[in-house]
Structure 1
Amino acid sequence: MIPLAIAALMLYGPYGWCYLRKESLEDYGLVWRLSKRSIADTSIALILTLVPLTFIALNWPEGTLPRQIPIGSLMALMAAGAVAAVVEEVFFRGWLQSLASRIVGPLWAIVAVSVIFALCHLFIKVHWLRLATFFPSLVMGFLKYRHRSVAPSALYHLGGNLWSIWFFPDMI
Structure 2
Amino acid sequence: MGRPRAFDEDEAVRAAVGLFGGRAYDGVSIDDLVSHLGMHRNSLYKTFGSKRGLYLIALRRHLADDVRPLADALADVSDAAAALRLVTSADLNLLLLATLERAPVDEEVACEVKAALAAVDQAIADALGVPAELATALTAAALGILLRGNPDSAATALTQHLGLLT
The structure with the largest alpha-carbon Rg is 2
Normalising TM by the smaller chain, what interval?
Answer: 0.3 to 0.5
Report the TM-score, using the length of structure 1 for normalisation: 0.32
Instruction: Decide which structure has greater helix share.
Output: 1
Greater relative contact order (Cα < 8 A, sep 6+): 1
Report the TM-score, using the length of structure 2 for normalisation: 0.33
